[in-house]
Structure formats: structure tokens, C-alpha cells
Chain A
Amino acid sequence: MIQTSVVPTQPGPPDGPGRSSVPVPVPSGRLRVLLVEDDDADAFLVRELLDEANAAVDLTVATTLGDARAKVGGVDCVLLDLGLPDAQGLDGMRRLLEVARGAAVCVLTGLGDDHLGVAAVAEGAQDYLIKGQVDGVLLARSVRYAVERKRADENARRLYEVELQQQESARLERGLLPKPLLRTSDVRVDTFYQPGRRAQLGGDFFDVVQTADDRLAMMVGDVCGHGVDEAALGVELRVAWRALTLAGVHDDAVLPAIEQVLISERESQEVFATLATVTVDLASGEAAVRLAGHPPPLLLAGGDASVVPATHGAVLGVFEHAERPASHVQLAGPDWSLLMYTDGLIEGRTGNGDRRLDVTGLRALITSRQGRAVARGDLAAWLVARAEEANDGPLADDVAMLILSRARGGR
């Protein structure tokens, strides 16, 4: 008699960006079945039963567990006898499952060995059959159900992994892209982040901290590479920067300390990071810009967008004792904004050969008639939309932006 099994409906892919959760398809054609059975008569019987039922299976026979381990690659379902010359009981199944993670397993037990079948199912087999109590139709159906159940289990497992990944990304994203610590209403900060084309989290990060009534510190950075490790390192650098800034460490000492954190925490010597920091004296409008291999901010004022003339300092993590002197810029007038960004924004294509948007293209967008009409709070999203338009699709890299503006007066 057959242990009947309810076939679970196959879970579909999740809504949203669960891209790696493409369900494993159930094979619609012939199934490859490996019969592991040392008794010739029993093996003959199984073959007869399947033939009699016209089952769409290709049967291969192995007579020992060693033989089965060698033949199991690419097999959809294993019919496994639990009494083999080189393996007894569930041990044989465990050793087979080690090398046959994708195959469904249907265990064959003797009459009165029900408990072994139940134990086998508990350990990962999809079904069990009692020898001598199976007819061809039931055997064929049991094989197909076992395969379908295995696929359903596999899909559920993948779905779960994607969920875990998404939770992990969400946690990292919170760490990379914090809420600005701002209490003044003299200025406003707009932040923007968008993951890259493959929805993977990159190493972009930013932060804004008000350190005194009239002092503000902000930064944008990028850890080279795109993965969970880079994102985690980005979180560390961001938090290190915030801690150093809140502790009132002198600006000149912050970047060297961040660099030490990077060097001591990174996994490979290849990893480096770029960073741009700006400290603003809100009373005088004077801003100090420091660059570590990062593109300088743009100053948006009077309908123009100019690159802040700041000294290029080296990336973090490559040199010893690199100099990164501060450059000063005056934020004056009724309508200035300071735009800090990561290079994902300007590396998109422009439909003109290999040309990329670049800073030139970015400035042209901002100063275009359309660009000048965009409200400040919408500017970052508008720029990314234009960059994607020019790129003829989503940008490959992630994009982070930070826009500091005077609270009143619009551009």
C-alpha cells in the first residue's frame, strides 16, 4: 500500500524584487529515475510495474550505494531500497542525500518496516513505498508526486532565502542611509538613494549631523565594489564618521581616523573608499570641503551649477599619510544649494557612443530651463530620472545624493 501524499501547490514567485527566486520548474516530460536495489528480482519487478503503467520514466539501476552515488547526478527521483550491501537503513539515505540535494527520494521498505519509512520521510525523503504492495499506476504516481513535492520544498526554501536577503539589505540600507541629525530650520537637507540596476545594495552612504547651533557636517561616500561586504563596510565608515564628528574631533583628524578604520576593517587590500565631507558655518556661510578621491560637490546658485573648486585628495585606503587639505567656499545669497553625489549618477550612458553623462552633462541638466523649474525637494529624483532616460534604462550603479539648501528662497 502507498503512503498517500497531498501535493502542496507550488508557491509562485514573490511580488517585488525577489529576482533570484525564479521557481524551479517541474519537469513535464520524462522523469529520470534511479532505482537503488541489490535484489535482481525486486529490481525486475519495479521495472515491470513501471512498464505496465506506461510511466514516462527512464530507469537506471544501481546495486550498491557507491554505485548510486556515482549515478545520481541529474536524476529527478531516487527509488531507494534501505537494505543495501554497503549501507543499512537510513544511513544509506543520508549518504545519498549528501550528493543528491536536488533529487526527490522515495524509500522502499519491507512489509512491517513502516516505521523506517516514516523516519526516512522525517529526514528528507519525499515518500515511502512498501514492497509487494504497490501496483504500477501507484508507483508511477508516487514517483511524480515525490518529484513535485521536492520542487515545491526547494522553491519554499529559495523564497525563504530571498526574504532573509531582503531583510539583510533593509538592515544595511538603514545603516548606510540614516536620518539626518538636524535641528536648525535655516537650512534644509534632501537625501536620495537608489540601488543599482540589479537591485543590489552598493557601498554608497551619506550622513548629516548638526554639531552646534550654527555648525553642520555632512558627507557622501562610496566603498568600491558592490556586495554585502562593501555595504557593511560602508555602514562602519558612516558610523565612525558620525561618532568622530559628534565627539568634536577636529576636522583635520577625521579623515585619517576613518582611513584607519577602513584599513583595519576591510577584508581585502583591494578595497578602498571615496569620501567627500563638507562642514558649514551657518552664521558666516563659509563651508570647508575635503575630498578623498570623491567628485567635488556642485554649488547651485543664481541659475548656475558650478563645481566647487576643491583640492583633490587621495582615496581612502591606498596611501599612507595622504594630505587632504580643506578648500573653502562661500555659500552666499538667497538661493544657494550644495549638491553632493556619488559617481553612479554621472556614469550612465548618453546615447552618444561611449560618452557618459559626466559632470558636464549633470550641470547641463541642472541649468536647463526644465531643471531650473524643478522644486528643490524633487531635484534629486528628477536628475536620476533624466540620467536614466539618457542611459536608456536603469543606471548600473547605485546613486546617493545629498542636497543642502537655504530653507527659504527657491531655485
Chain B
Amino acid sequence: MELSLATRSVSDHVVLEIGGEIDVYTAPRLRERLIELVGAGEKQVVVDLGRVDFLDSTGLGVLVGAHRRLRASDGALSLVCPHERLLKIFRITGLDSVFEIHRSVEDATTGGSAKTARTGA
């Protein structure tokens, strides 16, 4: 039930690097952090799930909520998700067509074309 959150800036994006498990117990902290970022005026938020071991439906809800908030303020949320294990969750829930999902932070911040949302099926 550990969750680590670290932010850094890459060009005009803010990258939120998450480590550990996003579940019903840790999701509130993630929600808080994302709301802070949106509140601070961040527009291009990249959530890096590269070091996430586990993501449940409450965690997905938090990501969906952040996506909506950012869209409402003309921003965008994109995800970095190199692992098939998590990609599968996005596919089953159909959320792979909501989020822009990239293989790497570099792809996400350079607007690279390596969008993987629907390629892993």
C-alpha cells in the first residue's frame, strides 16, 4: 500500500512519476496531488505509470477525474505506460480511447508519434 509521487518539469509538461500501488487506500493522495497540479495552473500533465505495480478501479477513477478537470481548463492529461499488464486494464475498461497513452516520458513530452493506446491489442 505504498505510493510515491514525484513531479518534475520536462519542456512545457509537468511529469508526475508514480511508484507503487494505486488502490482504494492510496488513490486519495494521488487525487489530491493531481488537483494541486491543475489548481497551480498546469496544463500539460503527464502521469508516468512506469513504476506502478498495481492499479485498481478507484485509481482509474482518479485518472478519469483529472483528465476531465484538465480538459475543462484547456489542458490535457497523458499517460506513460510501458507495461502490458497495465495496458490491459485500459483496454478492458475501454479507457485506452480516453487517454493518450505513450511508451515513454520522452514520447509523451515531445509529442512523439509513438501512441500505443490501441496498438497492444
Point out residues on A near B: beta carbons under 8 Å: 222, 224-226, 268-272, 274, 291-295, 312-315, 318-319, 322, 343, 347, 354, 356, 396-397
> How far is it, in angstroms, between the C-alpha of A166 and the C-alpha of B82 when the chains are bound?
43
Cβ-based interface call for B64 (8 A): yes
A279 to chain B minimum Cβ distance, whole angstroms, is 21
Of all A-B residue pairs in the complex, the 6 with the closest CB atoms, nearest first, are A314-B94, A270-B65, A224-B57, A293-B93, A354-B53, A224-B61
Point out residues on B near A: beta carbons under 8 Å: 23-24, 31, 53-54, 56-58, 60-62, 64-65, 68, 91-95, 97-98
Which residue from chain A places its CB closest to the CB of B55 in the assembled complex?
A347
Q: What chain A residues lie within 8 Å of B62 (beta carbons)?
A: 270
The majority secondary structure among interface residues of chain B is helix
B60 to chain A minimum Cβ distance, whole angstroms, is 7
> How far is it, in angstroms, between the C-alpha of A226 and the C-alpha of B25 when the chains are bound?
10
Q: What chain A residues lie within 8 Å of B94 (beta carbons)?
A: 292-293, 312-315, 318-319, 322
Which of A292, A293, A322, A397 has a CB less than 8 Å from the CB of B56? A397
B93 near A268: Cβ-Cβ < 8 Å:
no
Q: What chain B residues lie within 8 Å of A226 (beta carbons)?
A: 24, 58
Q: What chain A residues lie within 8 Å of B31 (beta carbons)?
A: 270
B42 to chain A minimum Cβ distance, whole angstroms, is 19
| Given A224-B58, A318-B98, A356-B54: A295 in contact with B65 (beta carbons within 8 A) | no
B93 near A225: Cβ-Cβ < 8 Å:
no
A222 near B97: Cβ-Cβ < 8 Å:
no
B57 near A274: Cβ-Cβ < 8 Å:
yes
B24 near A225: Cβ-Cβ < 8 Å:
yes
Which of B54, B60, B68 has a CB less than 8 Å from the CB of A269? B68
> How far is it, in angstroms, between the C-alpha of A50 and the C-alpha of B88 when the chains are bound?
70
Q: Please give 14 more A-B residue pairs, beta carbons under 8 A apart, in addition to A292-B94, A343-B57, A396-B23.
A: A225-B24, A269-B65, A270-B68, A272-B57, A274-B57, A294-B92, A312-B93, A312-B94, A314-B97, A318-B95, A319-B97, A319-B98, A347-B56, A354-B54
A202 to chain B minimum Cβ distance, whole angstroms, is 9
B57 near A222: Cβ-Cβ < 8 Å:
yes
B54 to chain A minimum Cβ distance, whole angstroms, is 7
A293 near B92: Cβ-Cβ < 8 Å:
yes
> How far is it, in angstroms, between the C-alpha of A274 and the C-alpha of B93 when the chains are bound?
8
Q: What chain B residues lie within 8 Å of A347 (beta carbons)?
A: 54, 56
Q: What chain A residues lie within 8 Å of B98 (beta carbons)?
A: 314, 318-319
Q: What chain A residues lie within 8 Å of B91 (beta carbons)?
A: 312
Q: What chain B residues lie within 8 Å of A224 (beta carbons)?
A: 57-58, 60-61
> How far is it, in angstroms, between the C-alpha of A322 and the C-alpha of B61 when the chains are bound?
17
